[in-house]
A and B are shown apart, each in its own frame.
Chain A
Amino acid sequence: MSAPAQHRIIFKHIDEPGYTNDIECYLRHGGYEVLRKSVTRKPEELIDEVKKSGLRGRGGAGFPCGVKWGLVDRKSGKPIYLIVNADESEPGTFKDRYIMHQDPHQLIEGTIISCFANNVKQAYIYIRGEMPEGARILERAIAEARSRNFVGPNILGTGYSCEIYVHRGAGAYICGEETGLIESLEGKRANPRIKPPYFPAVLGLYQCPTIVNNVETLCQVKYIADVGGEAYAKIGTPGNTGTRIFCVSGHVQRPGYYEFPAGTITMGQLLNDVCGGPLPGRTFKAVIPGGSSAKVLKFGERYKGKRKVGADMVDYDWGVEDVPMDFDSLAMIGSMGGSGGVIVMDDTVNMVEALANINAFYSHESCGQCTPCREGSLWMKKISSRMVHGDARPQDGALLKSVADQIPGRTICAFGEACSWPTQSFITKFKDEFDSYSEVKKTLPADRRVLV
């Protein structure tokens, strides 16, 4: 079965010839019409539309956006803040970059609609420090929107006011974690906060109720406010509504970003039909389906079980190629859809070396406040790097896994899981490669591609 056609909602104008990121171009394409329409409605209605839409957050966790908004403490009398999480930093993910660089007004319109729906008067866009150009583009776009009365005091004469400021990070992955992000926005080290009690919906920025949404999520909200929650829920599959943007990188013929109705495309269709398959003369070996912390999938393995289709339970027996690319199916087979970052590795890749690369990342990025994560990520890096650059021993795989197994569930934030899942899954699925690496290493060409 060949792949379905792309259905571009969020990426409608990305790479479109002649489409520029200034407000004139945006207005020519119907820009800010949805905002005009939305501010004439009751905020509660907009929240209901988002609830009906079934929209799930696009940052990685897939948490229902309407539920997140529903948890906001509206009785405390404290101001409510909205933070746009534009810290896009999960390796393999690069969708928000294109929205911010090429279509920034789409994000601003979605942000203001979301602020209006939630009675937010102040929003911040937390953009990663490594995107200085993106920050400048957003600042210019906000100024343009302010001069047209889409942002700032008394928006479109409604009496509703809302300001947006851009806040730049400075190279720390952990700022993508929402409570770490809040600490960072408060001018501190980005050490995540413990939940409970620090649920952002209740005790977020400056101890006030705070909504943190991903860039793409807010763009989806703009679309929902336009077409309505029910119409939106018809796109995709039940439980996985709307479109998903897949960012494909690594060893395929055509890496890039592709937007499809959620759950309508399988991994095989995405990699073979859409991305052109493996590089000439190569075969696929492994794929990480949802950003580098997602558990790796091995080509050739089978996933079996029962799943719900409509009201019935049916058996499934999938290879990697057969897995539908939605949150629930990927969770069912023990991995996750995460941020939509798909990293492909072919048969030239040695899995010990690939894991050593990933471990170096997580060790560098651990914030250091929880001992199991700070020490565990460091030792996973040290052991896997030693295997590659020094002496490898047959028992190293088991040692690595024992370190990884002692991290998850013992840390304040989900980084503990994120840093241990790669090691756990690589070693479980490619045990042979770890066991035999000390021998195999001697036979590998000295001029092979360096991964760590």
Chain B
Amino acid sequence: MNLKSETFQRIDEVITHYPVKRSATLPLLHLIQEDAGYISDEAITWIAGKLELQPINVLEVVTFYPMFRRAPIGRRHIKVCRTLSCALSGGYKTCETFAREFNTHAGPGVVSPDGEVTVEFVECLASCGTAPVVLIDETLHEKVDVAKAKQLSDQIKAEAAARK
């Protein structure tokens, strides 16, 4: 496995949190996905070896939990809450706006043509009082109406342009 040395350190540390190694399956998947961007076949075999499991024990976990993915996604991950309170406050328009701004459509694993974003609907983000909410990478944005969605999109585009 090709990972940062810090990731390997954190992996070895987190395994010590549990009396049974298998419990570290989710933490390891998170750490590897944060480092490598997605969960490869190699990662599944490697985790299984590390935790003394069969690869199927890891694969069945990957396919169960919505946050784990088997392929790379856009540079930024835009997760729009789809559930009732957000929908009542216009969440579908918010999602549509992000997709249009990046010339893509919303869906898990769909990458915008410029490779910059993946826009995706997710279920309840537990911030219903400030609906509609959007999680961009690890930051929660509240009351994201169409105007704010455009503004956030512009920001992402500006950051992308600055990188080039």
Q: A and B, one complex?
A: yes
Interface set of A (CB-CB < 8 Å, partner B): 88-94, 96-97, 122, 128-133, 165, 167-173, 184-190, 206, 247-251, 255-257, 292, 341, 343, 345, 349, 354, 357-358, 360-361, 364-365, 367, 449-452
Whether B36 is near chain A, meaning CB under 8 Å from some CB there, is no
Whether B61 is near chain A, meaning CB under 8 Å from some CB there, is yes
- Determine the distance from Cα of A248 to Cα of B84 in the docked complex, in whole angstroms: 13
Query: A188 touches which one: B61, B83, B89, B93 (CB < 8 A)?
Result: B61
B82 to chain A, nearest CB (A): 7
Known contacts A171-B65, A172-B66: does B88 contact A91 (CB below 8 Å)?
no
* A451 CB contacts on chain B under 8 angstroms: 84, 87-88, 92
Query: A249 touches which one: B25, B82, B131 (CB < 8 A)?
Result: B131
- Determine the distance from Cα of A236 to Cα of B51 in the docked complex, in whole angstroms: 49
Q: List 19 A-B contacts (CB under 8 A).
A: A130-B126, A168-B26, A168-B30, A170-B65, A170-B68, A171-B67, A186-B22, A187-B22, A247-B129, A249-B85, A249-B88, A249-B129, A250-B85, A250-B88, A255-B129, A343-B85, A357-B84, A361-B123, A451-B84
Residue of A nearest to B88 (CB): A250
B87 to chain A, nearest CB (A): 5
Q: Taking A168-B26, A187-B23 as given, write out 18 further A-B residue pairs in contact, using a Cβ cutoff of 8 Å, ordered by the A residue number.
A: A89-B124, A91-B124, A129-B67, A167-B23, A169-B26, A170-B68, A172-B64, A187-B61, A189-B60, A190-B65, A247-B129, A249-B129, A257-B129, A343-B128, A357-B87, A361-B83, A365-B123, A449-B88
Residue of B nearest to A88 (CB): B126
Interface set of B (CB-CB < 8 Å, partner A): 17, 19-20, 22-27, 29-30, 51, 57, 60-61, 64-68, 79, 82-85, 87-90, 92-93, 122-131, 135, 138-140
Known contacts A167-B26, A187-B24, A189-B61: does B83 contact A292 (CB below 8 Å)?
yes
Interface contact B22-A94, CB-CB below 8 Å: no
Residue of A nearest to B51 (CB): A187
- Determine the distance from Cα of A251 to Cα of B131 in the docked complex, in whole angstroms: 11
Interface contact B65-A188, CB-CB below 8 Å: no
Determine which residue in B60, B67, B68 has the highest number of CB atoms from chain A within 10 A of its CB, and name it.
Answer: B67
- Determine the distance from Cα of A308 to Cα of B133 in the docked complex, in whole angstroms: 42
* A184 CB contacts on chain B under 8 angstroms: 26
Residue of B nearest to A172 (CB): B65
Interface contact B127-A170, CB-CB below 8 Å: no
- Determine the distance from Cα of A205 to Cα of B123 in the docked complex, in whole angstroms: 27
- Determine the distance from Cα of A252 to Cα of B1 in the docked complex, in whole angstroms: 52
Interface contact B126-A206, CB-CB below 8 Å: no
Interface contact A345-B127, CB-CB below 8 Å: no
- Determine the distance from Cα of A93 to Cα of B131 in the docked complex, in whole angstroms: 12
Q: Which 8 A-B pairs have the closest CB atoms?
A: A187-B25, A170-B65, A249-B128, A171-B66, A249-B85, A187-B22, A450-B92, A171-B67
* B61 CB contacts on chain A under 8 angstroms: 187-189
- Determine the distance from Cα of A76 to Cα of B69 in the docked complex, in whole angstroms: 41
Interface contact A349-B88, CB-CB below 8 Å: yes
Interface contact B65-A91, CB-CB below 8 Å: no
Interface contact A170-B26, CB-CB below 8 Å: yes
Interface contact A170-B66, CB-CB below 8 Å: yes
- Determine the distance from Cα of A96 to Cα of B126 in the docked complex, in whole angstroms: 9
Residue of B nearest to A92 (CB): B128
Residue of A nearest to B64 (CB): A189
- Determine the distance from Cα of A128 to Cα of B25 in the docked complex, in whole angstroms: 15
- Determine the distance from Cα of A131 to Cα of B135 in the docked complex, in whole angstroms: 9
Interface contact B66-A94, CB-CB below 8 Å: no
* A452 CB contacts on chain B under 8 angstroms: 87
Interface contact B65-A133, CB-CB below 8 Å: no
- Determine the distance from Cα of A167 to Cα of B89 in the docked complex, in whole angstroms: 32
- Determine the distance from Cα of A8 to Cα of B102 in the docked complex, in whole angstroms: 44
Known contacts A186-B23, A187-B25: does B84 contact A94 (CB below 8 Å)?
no
* A248 CB contacts on chain B under 8 angstroms: 129
Interface contact A93-B83, CB-CB below 8 Å: no
Interface contact B85-A92, CB-CB below 8 Å: yes
